[in-house]
Amino acid sequence: MDAVRAIDGRAIPFGLKNVDTDLIIPARWLKTISREGLGVGAFESVRAEPGNVFDDPRYAGAPILIAGDNFGCGSSREHAAWALADMGVRAVIAPSFSDIFSGNAFKNGILTVALPQEAVDRLLLVAQTDPVSIDLETQTVTTPFQDRFTFPIDPFRKDCLLRGLDEIGLTLARDGAIVGYEDQLAATRPWLVRGTALPA
Amino acid sequence: MASKPRTLYEKIWDAHVVERREDGTCLIFIDRHLVHEVTSPQAFEGLRLAGRPVRRPELTLATPDHNLPTTARIDAAGQRLPIADSQSAQQLGALEANVAEFGIRYFGATARQQGIVHVVGPEQGFSLPGTTIVCGDSHTAAHGGMGALAFGIGTSEVEHVLATQTLLLQPSRTMEIRVTGELGPGVTSKDLILHIIGVIGTAGGTGHVIEYRGEVFERMSVESRLTVCNMSIEGGARSGLVAPDETTFAYLKGRPFAPQGADWDAAVEYWRTLRTDEGATFDKSVVIDATQVQPTVTWGTSPEDTAPINGIVPDPDSFADPSKQDAARKSLAYMGLVPGQPLAGLPVENVFIGSCTNSRIEDLRAAAAVLKGRHRADNVKWAIVVPGSGLVKEQAEAEGLDRIFTEAGLEWREPGCSACLGMNPDKVPAGERCASTSNRNFVGRQGPGSRTHLVSPAMAAAAAVTGRLVDVRELI
């Protein structure tokens, strides 16, 4: 994963509440066996409407998306994060995010910035005309108009993002602890694994 | 000193902590992993690129479900029929190749055990109480009906589990949904969970694991508990739980992957400890009165948009939250509904009975009880019944349910996710309504422009024979 530090640029003022991952990327696009190229299907039903924000030239290539409460709810499809990344979105600002989506976004280096509704409303307004800046190190969102909002982030995720760490690599380095757990499990709940033994 | 009282969730979590980091993130051991064709190819590819093996292949079980057509899979000569959509065929082929390469147990497209992952896991006794279960599918929450901590994960996490048999997680907050009283006649577990989501909202459980408590759940069958827990994700919770009990143990005994002999006794002894302790506290608590729950339908494009069948389409202006007003207006425009319109009597052109929420034998029996001796209404163009697994299909056929369905003018299909998600050939045409036993009424979920009304299997059957949304209690 590439390190993430600061994201500056135009922000798409979408604003919709309860954006589900079916809306971000409909299931018919999920037949792919690759992570690439999903941007073309992103927000397909929204883009079918004339004058939608995603096709507004002001927001072409915008690295930030601003949405309403409960962004990314529904299906666990990581394709939603891949589609956003493929569109060039590197951060989403919303009052709240679904648990699964925020995990998927993090794994793909997309920042999920949770701010109170009032702050999101202010940013939706600013985004009409001006850029927005996000700084991960200081956990702040700023605008050219002296707005400054701080956002929370899990310290572990922040560290991984800033350093661009590979989580699987990190866990594999803890192999001794996993082996220790497996030994203890085999001693205390041996029935848990006997039933699933594969034929030799 | 007595230890602090713990909730069921906390007991299962504590039993799976491999390591706790200083920042509070825990490395959690995963006991069971389910894999299907849609969210796994990129994970296997990641392993290949990094040269990593699957750490514990015996703890993963794979079967195709989302993308597999539900029409006949073998011809009269017993030969496998090709899959018309080349991308679907490629994805299903990738799963077959991956399970062979990495040595993973697999119920393929023509195996009698094939089915929807969340039907197959419990049915095989692969999903057990007190275990951690994950799958690249948000409806993994279903397995919480077995008393397991089960949740959906993304593809990067699928790869992480395959490589390490663990996940890095922050503990969730705990939420109790206590249901008092009894459900009335004709009111099912599906109506109850739709009602609950209507009360708490689709973000009501975000960051929480729900434990469903109260006598209603104690009296429920395991299959009904699976239905309730399945839709926890629609309430924003990653996971839902019902404490395992004698009903759970009776359901599991003798299933293929369940413990046997002395192992069974040891397992049951452990499972009996999996209850929320007296005095344990929840971060959030909601009380629901079961006697107030009616057969429930959705009117909008979010699962929180629920109403009793005898209710009306709400006025968007009646919502306090301006963003919800806006969302409701968009929903009604999409659904072709106007405020104040009665829900009962709304004509439907399509009926779908199936999905990981409602495709088990109990669901099919409930639908058949309504359909028996009746026939599909003329305005219903498409009505299908899709069993959750090959074994559910066999059982239904042994009971003659398939004949009830076909004599009533419904199609009887092969197992899979079918019309739940608009991915395989089973789709609802644009602008048409579907009375659906699935779990999501999102914009375009059952196909571009489709209009979904979520209902119970009995309510879907009632819609099939009357051609409209109707209170099933008028038919039983």
- How many Cβ contacts (< 8 angstroms) between chains A and B? 213
State how many domains chain A has.
2
Same-domain status, A185 and A120: no
In this structure, what is the dihedral angle of CA atoms B122, B125, B130, B134, given to the nearest 10 degrees? -60
Reduced 3-state DSSP string for A98-146: CHHHHHHHHHCCCEEEECCHHHHHHHHHHCCCCCEEEECCCCEEECCCC
User: What is the average pLDDT across B389-394?
Assistant: 98
Q: Is B273 an 8 Å CB contact of chain A?
A: no
Residues 226..265 of B with a Cβ closer than 8 Å to A: which?
233-234, 236, 238, 257-260, 263-264
pLDDT of residue A1: 76
Spell out which residues of chain A touch residue B263, defining contact as CB-CB under 8 Å.
190-191, 194-195
Secondary-structure breakdown of chain B: helix, strand, coil percentages, each rounded to the nearest 5: 35, 20, 45
Q: Is B23 an 8 Å CB contact of chain A?
A: yes
Same-domain status, A61 and A106: yes
User: What is the average pLDDT across B388-409?
Assistant: 98
B128–A178 C-beta distance less than 8 A: no
Whether B8-169 shares its CATH topology with B296-474 is answered yes
Band (B302; pLDDT cuts 50, 70, 90): very high
Tokens of A85: 């990344």
Q: Are strands B26-29 and B17-20 parallel, antiparallel or unpaired?
A: antiparallel
Domain made up of B173-245+263-292: CATH architecture: 3-Layer(aba) Sandwich (3.40)
Q: Are strands B166-169 and B173-180 parallel, antiparallel or unpaired?
A: unpaired
pLDDT of residue A2: 83
pLDDT of residue A166: 87
pLDDT of residue B79: 94
B257–A70 C-beta distance less than 8 A: no
Spell out which residues of chain B touch residue A68, defining contact as CB-CB under 8 Å.
323, 327
Q: Is residue A75 within 8 Å of residue A123, measured between CB atoms?
A: no
Domain made up of B296-474: CATH architecture: 2-Layer Sandwich (3.30)
Separation in Å, CA B16 to CA A195, B105, B169, B238, B376: 19, 23, 11, 17, 50
Separation in Å, CA B109 to CA A150, B122, B416: 51, 19, 10
- pLDDT digits 0-9 by tens, B188-217: 999 999 999 999 999 999 999 999 999 999
C-alpha angle B274-A76-B212 in degrees, rounded to nearest 5: 30
For chain A, list residues with pLDDT below 70.
Answer: none
How large is the angle between the packed helices B222-230 and B189-200, nearest 10 degrees?
Answer: 30
Give the one of A69, A103, A198 whose C-beta lies nearest to B157's C-beta.
A103
Same-domain status, A121 and A184: no
CATH of the domain at A89: 3.20.19.10
Tokens of A69: 């409460």
Cross-strand pairs, B289: B180
Same-domain status, A34 and A65: yes
Same-domain status, A141 and A180: no
pLDDT of residue B2: 61
Spell out which residues of chain B touch residue A103, defining contact as CB-CB under 8 Å.
153-154, 157
Same-domain status, A13 and A26: yes
Same-domain status, A139 and A122: yes
Q: For residue A122, give how far its alpha carbon lies from the nearest alpha carbon of chain B (Å).
A: 15
Q: Which of A40, A54, A44, A52 is nearest to A10 (CA)?
A: A54
Same-domain status, A132 and A183: no
Measured between CA atoms, the residue of chain B closest to residue A102 is B154
pLDDT of residue A140: 98
Same-domain status, A148 and A191: no
Separation in Å, CA B366 to CA A151, B4, B224: 49, 43, 12
pLDDT of residue B447: 97
Spell out which residues of chain A touch residue B55, defining contact as CB-CB under 8 Å.
178
Same-domain status, A31 and A18: yes
- pLDDT digits 0-9 by tens, B219-241: 999 999 999 999 999 999 999 99
Q: Considering chain B, what is the average pLDDT of its residues?
A: 97
Q: Which residue has the tokens 């956002």?
A: A151
- pLDDT digits 0-9 by tens, B265-291: 999 999 999 999 999 999 999 999 999
Cross-strand pairs, B33: B60, B134
pLDDT of residue A199: 83
Spell out which residues of chain A touch residue B154, defining contact as CB-CB under 8 Å.
76-78, 81, 100, 103-104, 107
Q: For residue A197, give how far its alpha carbon lies from the nearest alpha carbon of chain B (Å).
A: 6
Measured between CA atoms, the residue of chain B closest to residue A170 is B168
B137–A33 C-beta distance less than 8 A: no
Question: Who contacts A155 (Cβ-Cβ below 8 Å, separation ≥6)?
Answer: B23
Q: Coil, strand, or helix at residue B420?
A: helix
Residues 283..312 of B with a Cβ closer than 8 Å to A: which?
302, 304
- pLDDT digits 0-9 by tens, A121-175: 999 999 999 999 999 999 999 999 999 999 999 999 999 999 999 899 999 999 9
* Residue B299: count of CB within 10 angstroms of its CB: 23
Q: Coil, strand, or helix at residue A11?
A: strand
Q: Is residue A1 part of a domain?
A: no
The residue range of the domain holding A186 is 166-195
- pLDDT digits 0-9 by tens, B108-127: 999 999 999 999 999 999 99
Q: Is B50 an 8 Å CB contact of chain A?
A: yes
Can you give the residue ranges of every domain in chain B? 8-169, 173-245+263-292, 296-474
Cross-strand pairs, B27: B19, B168
Q: For residue A120, give how far its alpha carbon lies from the nearest alpha carbon of chain B (Å).
A: 12
Give all strands of the β-sheet with B17-20 in edge-to-edge order: B17-20, B26-29, B166-169
A168–B159 C-beta distance less than 8 A: yes
Q: Is B206 an 8 Å CB contact of chain A?
A: yes
Cross-strand pairs, B176: B211, B285
Q: Is residue A146 part of a domain?
A: yes
A192–B267 C-beta distance less than 8 A: yes
Q: Are strands B382-385 and B411-412 parallel, antiparallel or unpaired?
A: parallel
Same-domain status, A16 and A39: yes
Percent of chain B exceeding pLDDT 70 equals 100
The pTM (predicted TM-score) of the whole model is 0.97
Same-domain status, A137 and A48: yes
CATH of B8-169, one of 3.50.50.60, 3.30.499.10, 3.40.718.10, 3.20.20.150: 3.30.499.10
Q: Is residue A11 part of a domain?
A: yes
ipTM score of complex: 0.96
